[in-house]
Amino acid sequence: MVEKDLILEGDLLFFYVEDKYPTNDIPGHVGIYIGQQQMIHCLPSPSKVILTSIEKPHWIKKYLFARRILINTNDMSVADSSNNTVCLLR
């Protein structure tokens, strides 16, 4: 996981959605951090992609964690998982 104060552009931000799952520690919504405390994400109804501040009380309350996707362009080996990042292989 990525600490909230260390998120970078492109990191995935995970949020819970009330009453979607039996517990609020299961992500039900994801946004992509684009810098300057902003994320892009899709609203289900009406279905559209929007830009939102992650500093809005709604998102602060529902924030769970962030993940960084790393792309290994040198080879097909899996990155060290000790830092809990996801590695996409080409």
Rounded Cα gap, residues 82 and 80, in angstroms: 6
pTM: 0.76
Q: Compute the residue count for the chain.
A: 90
pLDDT confidence of residue 73? 63
Arithmetic mean of pLDDT over the chain: 84
The answer, yes or no, to whether residue 15 has pLDDT greater than 90, is yes
pLDDT tens digits, residue range 45-77?
Answer: 788 999 999 999 999 999 999 999 887 666 544
pLDDT confidence of residue 60? 96
pLDDT confidence of residue 74? 64
Q: Nearest-CA neighbor of 39 among 3, 7, 1?
A: 7
Task: Give the architecture (CATH level 2) of 4-89.
Answer: Alpha-Beta Complex (3.90)
Percentage with pLDDT > 90 across the chain: 61
Q: How many other C-beta atoms lie within 10 A of the C-beta of residue 20?
A: 11
Percentage with pLDDT > 70 across the chain: 79
The token duo for 80 is 């060290």
Torsion of CA 66, 11, 30, 39, to 10 degrees: 110
